[in-house]
Amino acid sequence: MKIIKTTPTIFKRIKSGFPLGIKTIIALTGIAGTIIRVLTLTGIVFKISEVLEIGLGCVIISFIVTIIKGHINHLPSQIIFEESIDGTYVAKYCTRESLKEANSLTKPFYHHEYVDDNIVELWRQKNTQGFVGIFNSKNELCACFGIIGIEESFMNQFIKGRLKDNDMLSEDVLSFEETKKSSTPYISGVVVRDPDSPAGHRRACVMIWTMLEYIKKIFGFRKERHIFALAVSKTSENLLKKCGFQMYCTSTQRKDKLNLYQLPITKEAIDNILIRTGDYSMICKIQF
């Protein structure tokens, strides 16, 4: 397999640091304007050219801040696989068999939080469009994720740490139509086959991109929502942080002894993750 790495373009750097750059220029022009007004009251007269030079200085400093922020964000190099053992991918809703296979892959990572196959299947039956599998050109399961809605009374206790995954029954899971209205969807059962291999890295990127497309299509941005996820390992916790998730409830406060994170479902938040992950629409066909 031949791998080519290309560093992020200056445009991607600027796009990543743009929000901070805007805040910087607003702050600098405000400060400069205040100073000019104060000095004018003391009798100092500024030429138009001098004011323009000050304005230009604010723009230059803001641009530099934008570039620096883009680099600090540590956008990963784009990895292009000219040849891959997976070929292309298809993302589609899980069946009973594919979800069972995906759940078996979670066992080494979830440990005491592993949920039995029968319970997971009951969740899937309650919301048959809540679990998505990523399959390669050989129709082999490469990755999977679930995004489900949870009944409000259970979710309130869950995010406070008083309940955990294993406590959730089928009646606590919302139907697909009810999930679309939920303001607190929950990411469950995220897994990638062979995550530490080059192919696993590609699968993870494809899965994240697919998950973002799912969120955009199912939930949109009109309603205020926050999506929740547990950090079941150090690797998953680092990934959540890099995607902009914020700590909601620490492990010491929780029955499951895991950190709980949340992310607002906004266009800005999703776009920021897409900048880091990349666009995989050319190699992954979505069937939902």
209-218: average pLDDT: 96
pLDDT of residue 32: 83
pLDDT grade for 3, boundaries at 50, 70 and 90: very low
Q: What superfamily does domain 85-286 belong to in CATH? A: Gcn5-related N-acetyltransferase (GNAT) (3.40.630.30)
**Residue 154 · residue 163 · CB < 8 Å:** yes
73-94: average pLDDT: 69
**Residue 132 · residue 144 · CB < 8 Å:** yes
**Domains of the chain, residue spans:** 3-72, 85-286
pLDDT of residue 2: 44
pLDDT of residue 249: 95
pLDDT grade for 82, boundaries at 50, 70 and 90: very low
67/191: higher pLDDT: 191
Question: What would the pLDDT profile of 93-125 be if each residue is shown by its tens digit?
Answer: 999 999 999 999 988 877 777 889 999 999 999
Strands 259-264 and 186-192: unpaired
**Gyration radius from the chain CA atoms:** 23
Amino acid letter, residue 36: I
pLDDT of residue 7: 56
255-271: average pLDDT: 95
50-64, 71-85, 183-197: which range is least confident on average?
A: 71-85
Distances (CA, A) of 248 to 85, 191, 192, 226, 253: 38, 22, 25, 11, 10
- Residue 246 phi/psi, 5-degree rounding, is -115, 145
Q: Is 148 helix (H, G, I), strand (E, B) or coil?
A: strand
pLDDT of residue 77: 47
Which secondary-structure segment (H or E) carries 143?
strand 141-148
pLDDT grade for 185, boundaries at 50, 70 and 90: very high
- Residue 190 phi/psi, 5-degree rounding, is -80, 125
pLDDT of residue 48: 87
pLDDT of residue 84: 65
Question: What would the pLDDT profile of 142-180 be if each residue is shown by its tens digit?
Answer: 999 999 999 999 999 999 999 998 899 999 999 999 999
**Residue 16 · residue 65 · CB < 8 Å:** no
Which secondary-structure segment (H or E) carries 80?
strand 78-81
CA distance 157 to 260: 13
pLDDT of residue 8: 60
Mean pLDDT computed over every residue of the chain: 88
240-269: average pLDDT: 95
**Residue 3 · residue 79 · CB < 8 Å:** yes
Question: What would the pLDDT profile of 36-62 be if each residue is shown by its tens digit?
Answer: 888 888 888 878 888 888 888 888 998
Tell me how far apart the terminal alpha carbons of the chain are, to the nearest angstrom: 30
pLDDT of residue 38: 82
pLDDT grade for 4, boundaries at 50, 70 and 90: very low
pLDDT of residue 156: 96
Strand partners, 261: 229, 247
**Residue 69 · residue 16 · CB < 8 Å:** yes
